Structure 1
């Protein structure tokens, strides 16, 4: 249910400098939900919360009231205009004052597409506030918002250092919309002390099963489905806690002959009343159903019920399967017969109630405010690059080599580093390479297909030999010795803002090869086209991936390579994403590696097509279709000019390049050799 932190931080929070955190959260008006801030403060950090002064939560207007555990001056009520969570704005004056102060982290607990998010980021820019910011999203429906909402949504996501979500699907949507890193899945918190369980047993075989529902009485919550489920099972009795627009309709359904006397509506419960109501239930039903505009985003009541020791039966709507996990039973949404059977089974099958109650209590502990606060503190450490991997600080890098044929070249690459932890991913599935790895004592992985360099790297990263270590990516046609690797590693660990380092390189004839490059952009494509490439050369934004040491903490934050890149530009994309999250990349000229270059390829024309296809993927991803077309025209102009002006082979290559650019590199690549898939490889 939760993403693990991936590596141990050096020391406890209190051994590091406390962080100053500004949180903006309109629902902080609910005192119980400010337990997150209190938990972060308990870990030694300074947290100031700007919250709406009053807000409609669950159908009731709540005014911000002081809480005895909130230190004076740490919670500031802010007036708001508007009532929709995505369309309201804050009074800008408190934001202006707060964003003028020094912070280590700004945590905008608002959706990326919300107007309030835009407001806060504009004020942040005007105040020249340099602290990195985090965003929050619960949106697990992939919606395409109208202009201009989707414009600032993408911009906000691309420049965020972290995105905190309450479900895996919400995180995937944020990545598809532009977030460059790995979203952090953090549950909604629960007060496990207030919702502590009572000592009780499942109902006796001859006693009715007390089913409970807690939530809004609206069509998407599926309470009518629950009523039909109870109607079909005479030994079930139902208590409905909540209010909403469907209440009268549901009350009318409950007067049916087969439900009469078995359904009780108690109205809305206060936060103080809810734990007691839950403890009197034998089983909690959460029958939500998906609609075209809504899907269950988390289901906080599931965790509250588990914390109170109440086993849960839920539909499989939205994020409920992730939240329930092995702590309850799942049924198809909108299926009253299956729901009724599951409610009865929970309490009638010997041992099941006790087993799922125990599992639910365990899952609820992971959602305690203490654990939620711990996760937030870890996220803030990653955002500020103050998280340290103990393993990486004390261990040599793990080596990853993605091979494709050429066993003799591979031997030359492996022998100097064989004393390190080495994994070879063999995209060619050659017995000779498997045997070579056995001879040298390095790990051999055969993916069974050639998914490209990025997919090969990701396979090794998903099954680490030394979890938490830094990673050396080594081309099979490159050679660097262990002393060089260790020097690169020392340089990397010495600067907490470095995501990757690379050595200088020479080719087989000893000629220097370029290692540090500027990030490709549409503007730089035109600068190159008009013959001003030296202007671009002033920028050394990233280093190439033929011999590349990557920082464990950056991999944790940014993730692995994008395996949509088959060959070329995958390390450029990773470096760009890391750069957006505040990381840097450096050439280390004191170390020199040999790189033959393209030695595992026998088709120069195909290699050049793949290079430009990689460029197209990169430019489309980071600048959109319009940005790619602008860059393509610039590259085409430059290629045509060279085709006309240059004689011999150089002119011929420029004409071939012009043809590829005119048709579109991705189209040419697909026509020449359709991208492989595991299914096609197996066939």
Structure 2
């Protein structure tokens, strides 16, 4: 957690680092905890869930209403901001036109919006451009320079392709297995390692493929430091599209080459990145070609200083909200 921030969480991911939940300022959401935070005279910004996370946005609107009402007893108002990354077309996310109109109107309650990808910005602009014109907004993509957890490591990379996440259809795992055999990964002397947080699904695995079940974060970092390539071949499914693609972000911050598809939210922002191979979603031949290029690429890839941290996002919110006053 950046200094000066608190987090009230309404849910948690199964693969979340448990240590994060014990950090100072992190606690389960309750209305009492929110009211206590709003009484803090130093509170400047209330971050809420993004509008296209529709189920959570209803709760967010109630939080915003409470924050606006708190202006009566506070010495200064609390600005409201959000970080938006939804990549699934808003018309598919919210099918009824009236509901989309209501959602667009509710966007006017926000003082500042940071989009995590260009794809997310374009998604909101197409559906709610008239609302965004009345709200300060920008695009700040994730920082992709060296990992802040790992010490510098000059050890040689292993001939390993790493898949981080649940080996599901929407993550493109069946396509990856077919592409792996097409490219002859095992015959080339490479391994495909699957770091599966759940380990519930069983697959018939071809030669050279192994699964590590629910590895701790320290082991994930070790895998990223030693692997040459990270594969994240997401495909779109009804009601779902890859928002950012954290495995590819982690791969790039650890100096890996990355093979992904145009379905990931960061695809438009990474088209010119020298360590990224963009492939056609759901196409084993295209993915195999991307794997081949990545396998034959340079031994190491220098992580570039690209993108922004959460501290940068908060700093932009503060500046944007100060301009609105």
Q: TM-score, normalised by structure 1?
A: 0.41
Alpha-carbon RMSD across the aligned residues, in angstroms, is 2.9
Aligned pairs for 1:369-380 (under 5 A) are 369=309, 372-380=310-318
CA distance in 1, matches of 2:147, 2:70: 40
Partner Cα distance (2:286, 2:164) in 1: 20
Contact 1:297 1:319 in 2 (8 A): yes
Alignment-derived partner of residue 93 in structure 1: 32
CA distance in 1, matches of 2:252, 2:220: 13
Does the 8 Å CA contact 2:199/2:214 hold for their aligned counterparts? Answer: no
Alignment partners' CA distance in 2, 1:290 and 1:246: 22
Which of structures 1 and 2 has the bigger CA Rg? 1
2: CA distance between counterparts of 1:196 and 1:185?
A: 30
Query: Which of 132, 149, 171 pairs up with 1:194?
Result: 149
Distance 2:141 2:12 in 1: 22
CA distance in 1, matches of 2:101, 2:314: 27
Q: Which structure is higher in helix share?
A: 1
Residues 1:145 and 1:196: Cα distance change in structure 2 (over 3 Å): farther
2:322 is the alignment partner of 1:384:
yes
| Alpha-carbon displacement from aligned partner over 1:4-57 (angstroms, at most 9, x marks no partner) | xxxxxxxxxxxxxxxxxxxxxxxxxxxxxx2xx23xxxxxxxx241322x7431
For residue 274 of structure 1, give the secondary structure of its aligned residue in structure 2. helix
**Separation in 1 of the partners of 2:235 and 2:5?**
37
Is 1:118 the counterpart of 2:57? The answer is no
Unaligned runs of 5+ in 2: none
- Mark the CA change 1:368 to 1:334 in structure 2 (over 3 Å): closer, same or farther: same
Which of 63, 82, 91 aligns to 1:135? It is 82
| 2: CA distance, partners of 1:152 / 1:199 | 54
- Say which of 142, 150, 163 aligns to 2:113: 163
Pairwise CA distance, 1:147: 9.3
Unaligned runs of 5+ in 1: 1-33, 39-46, 79-89, 204-208, 386-580, 583-683
Determine helix, strand or coil for the equivalent of 2:270. Answer: helix
Change (3 A) 1:155 1:125: farther
User: What's the counterpart of residue 6 of structure 2?
Assistant: 49
Residue of structure 1 aligned with 2:306, choices 366, 373, 383? 366
- Residue by residue over 1:207-238, the C-alpha shift from the partner in whole angstroms, topping out at 9 and shown as x without a partner, is xx421111122221001111111112132421
Alignment of 1:231-246 (within 5 A): 231-232=181-182, 233=184, 234-235=187-188, 236-244=190-198
Structure 2 vs 1, CA of residues 291 and 224 (structure 1 numbering), >3 Å: closer, same or farther? Answer: same
What is residue 105 of structure 1 aligned with on the other side?
A: 44
1:295 to 230, 241, 246: 241
Matches within 5 A, 1:523-538: none
**Structure 2 counterpart SS, 1:94:** helix
3-state DSSP of counterpart to 1:57: coil
Structure-1 residue corresponding to 2:122: 172
1:307-328 Cα shifts (integer Å, max 9, x gaps): 2111111111132323534131
Report if the CA contact (8 A) 1:138-1:167 is conserved: yes
Task: State the match for 1:344 in structure 2.
Answer: 292
Conserved in 2, the CA contact under 8 Å of 1:198 and 1:308?
no
Aligned to 2:138: 184
Q: 1:375 to 1:123 in 2, by over 3 A?
A: closer
Aligned residue for 2:229?
283
Q: Residue 104 of structure 2: which of 116, 141, 154 is its match? A: 154
Instruction: Return the alpha-carbon distance in structure 1 between the equivalents of residues 21 and 157 of structure 2.
Output: 39
Q: Please name the residue that 1:333 is paired with.
A: 281
CA distance in 2 between partners of 1:194 and 1:63 (Å):
14
Aligned residue pairs: how many?
Answer: 303
TM-score normalised by L of structure 2? 0.81
Q: Is the 8 A contact 1:218 1:246 kept in 2?
A: no
* Partner Cα separation in structure 2 for residue 311 and residue 159 of structure 1: 41
CA contact (8 A) 2:163 2:195 kept: yes
User: What is the alpha-carbon distance in structure 2 between the residues aligned to residue 62 and residue 241 of structure 1?
Assistant: 17
Q: Note closer, same or farther for the CA distance 1:276–1:373 as it changes in structure 2 (3 Å cut).
A: same
Residues 164 and 185 of structure 1 are in contact (CA less than 8 Å); yes or no, is this contact kept in structure 2?
A: yes
